[in-house]
Amino acid sequence: MKQSALFTKTRKEAPTDEVAENAKLLIRAGYIHKEMAGVYSFLPLGVRVMNNIAKIIREEMNALGGVELHLTALQDREVWEKSGRWSDEVVDNWFKTKLKSGTEVGLGFTQEEPLTRILSEYINSYKDLPKYVYQIQTKFRNEARAKSGILRGREFLMKDLYSFSRTDKEHEDFYERSKTAYTNVFTRAGIGEKTYLTYASGGTFSKYSHEFQTLTSAGEDIIHICDVCHVAVNEEISKDVSSCPVCSGALSRTEKAVEVGNIFSLGTKYASVLGLSYTGEDGEKKPVVMGSYGIGLGRLMGTIVEVFADEKGIVWPESVAPFRVHLISIVGANGEVVKKEADALYETLTQKGIEVLYDDRDLRPGEKFADSDLIGVPTRVVISEKTIAQGKLEVKDRKTGTVSMLSQSELFQDLQ
């Protein structure tokens, strides 16, 4: 993409009421726009990152056997009353509104109820199970505090997967596999080493739920870590669990962290009240055993920013970066030659399937470099009269700051 095609421009200052580092940087670089507290629009650069995150998540959920659907955001009061979760006393973060007729509807903050009802129309026999269904969809939560930028939005994209199994054993097997899939997601998104499988307070059914917590000072949670097993215990339950749940050794470190994912065993709670049952091989009717598995896409994006950013701006891992290469032309006195070379390299890279942001704008070199550092594309390639004279390209790694003079073929090699 040519940078001249973007309507966004980088900004020196973030809105004065924005306190979170992730949002400050993402706003300044033109990834997101703050509509109001806890409500952010995703601009062209931001959408590219979100799409990359969604691609990783989809691949891992599909590999797990998940099938994608898309449920409505508007929620039918009736189905939520059956589970007891319509009441504001039970769920304190509902957004609710009214139809013209006066009928109250909600905006979904999760979707166990409607999905369980849908499946009850299709699942009859043990032969229909197990099933795994997921979506990437907008959730609404009337969060009391919204000071963490896109780590905590009032409207945000969530991947929510739901599992429907015949027995506890079948559920447990899937639940274990989901942990691996989640670990794969966070590893591929670049934060694997900083992310800990964390024992947290239970689902409706099991003793624990499991969170995936990523270390960052921006986190709102506190976790106690076992470095031997690379697992942790959430502060909330650490009074009951004072040693590592895996090796029983000491929990040696306490750190701030952000919950990027959460998996829950739900037992038969929702299936029982919403009539989702199947007839077993023995002819008996039984409720379906469920689990739910969430990842916040915006929260994951914000976490990556928090973890890797430096004093100059954002530093994206290649897997989620909006572009692989930031091509910058420095057009001096001999402008046409530089422009021709840069245009040609842009074409060649694009033809090779490498995604390039090409800064073709008429700006001073210093401004282009500062923008490039702020935007955080992994590899910066500069073409100037100087580089042309040397027959090389100036290639800078955003993460390490290493600059090398490479030939085109060496650059292609590096980008493989």
Q: Which residues contact 6 (CB under 8 A, 6 or more apart)?
A: 30, 44, 45
306 in contact with ligand ATP (CB under 6 A): no
Residue pair 129/123 in contact by the 8 Å Cβ criterion:
yes
Binders of Mg ion: how many residues, by CB under 5 A? 1
Largest CA distance in the chain: 85
262 binding Mg ion? (CB under 5 A) = yes
Report the half-sphere exposure of 281 (CA within 13 A, side-chain side).
Answer: 4
In angstroms, give the least distance from the CB of 288 to ligand ATP: 21
In three state form, how does the secondary structure of 199-234 look? EEECCCCCCEEEEEEEECCCCCEEEEEECCCCEEEE
Closest CA to 51 of 70, 33, 31: 31
Nearer to ligand ATP, 192 or 280 (CB): 192
34 binds, among Mg ion, ligand ATP, none (CB under 5 to 8 A by kind): none
Q: Which residues make Cβ contacts (< 8 Å) with residue 295, sequence separation at least 6? A: 57, 158, 159, 182, 185, 212, 260, 261
Toward ligand ATP, which CB reaches closer, 271 or 295? Answer: 295
Please choose, out of 14-22, 52-60, 234-242, 296-304, the segment that lies near ligand ATP by the rule CB under 6 A: 296-304
Nearer to Mg ion, 215 or 377 (CB): 215
Question: Does 298 sit near ligand ATP (CB under 6 A)?
Answer: yes
State which residue, 153 or 291, has the beta carbon closest to ligand ATP. 153
Alpha-carbon span 188 to 54, nearest angstrom? 12
Residues 31-50 within binding reach of ligand ATP (CB under 6 A)? none
b/e 380-391 (16+ beta carbons within 10 angstroms → b): bbbbbbebbeee
CA angle (90 as vertex; 85, 94 as ends), nearest 5: 70
Does 295 interact with ligand ATP (rule: CB under 6 A)?
Answer: yes
Q: How many residues does the chain have?
A: 416
**Span near ligand ATP by CB under 6 A; candidates 27-35, 164-172, 257-265, 366-374:** 257-265
Is 270 one of the binding residues for ligand ATP (CB under 6 A)?
A: no
Q: What three-state secondary structure class fits 252?
A: coil
Query: Smallest distance from the beta carbon of 264 to Mg ion, in angstroms?
Result: 8
The whole-angstrom separation of Cα 120 and Cα 402 is 58
State in angstroms the smallest separation of the CB of 244 from ligand ATP.
22
Site pattern 148..167 for ligand ATP (x: CB under 6 A): ----xx--x-x---------
Contact positions with ligand ATP (CB under 6 A) in 96-115: 110
CA distance 164 to 171: 8
Question: Of the two residues 215 and 381, which places its CB atom closer to ligand ATP in the complex?
Answer: 215
- Min dist. Cβ of residue 211 to Mg ion (A): 6
Minimum distance between the CB of residue 209 and Mg ion, rounded to whole angstroms?
7
Q: How far is Cα of residue 180 from the mean position of the Cα atoms in its chain?
A: 16
- Shortest distance, position 89 Cβ to ligand ATP, whole Å: 17
Residue 259: burial class (beta carbons within 10 Å; 0-12, 13-18, 19+):
buried
How many residues at the interface with ligand ATP, by CB under 6 A? 16
* Nearest-angstrom CA–CA distance, 104 and 77: 7
**Is 296 an interacting residue with respect to ligand ATP (CB under 6 A)?**
yes
259 touches ligand ATP by CB under 6 A:
yes
Please, what is the minimum distance in Å from the beta carbon of residue 200 to Mg ion?
A: 7
Give the one entry of ligand ATP, Mg ion, none that residue 182 binds, where binding means its C-beta sits below a cut-off of 5 to 8 angstroms depending on kind: none
Partner whose binding site includes residue 158, from Mg ion, ligand ATP, none (CB under 5 to 8 Å by kind)? ligand ATP
Minimum CB distance to Mg ion, residue 406 (Å): 45
Kindly tell me the sign of the dihedral angle through the C-alpha atoms of 314, 319, 323, 327.
Answer: positive
Which residue among 171, 299, 368, 396 contacts ligand ATP (CB under 6 A)?
299
- By a kind-dependent CB cut-off of 5 to 8 A, residue 255 interacts, out of Mg ion, ligand ATP, none, with none
With beta carbons less than 8 A apart as the criterion, state whether 268 and 112 touch: no
HSE-CB of 268 using CA atoms within 13 angstroms: 12
CB closer to ligand ATP, 54 vs 406: 54
- Residue 213, interface with Mg ion (CB under 5 A)? no
Contacting residues toward Mg ion, per CB under 5 A: 262
The residues that touch ligand ATP, with contacts defined as CB under 6 A, are 110, 141, 143, 152-153, 156, 158, 259-262, 294-296, 298-299
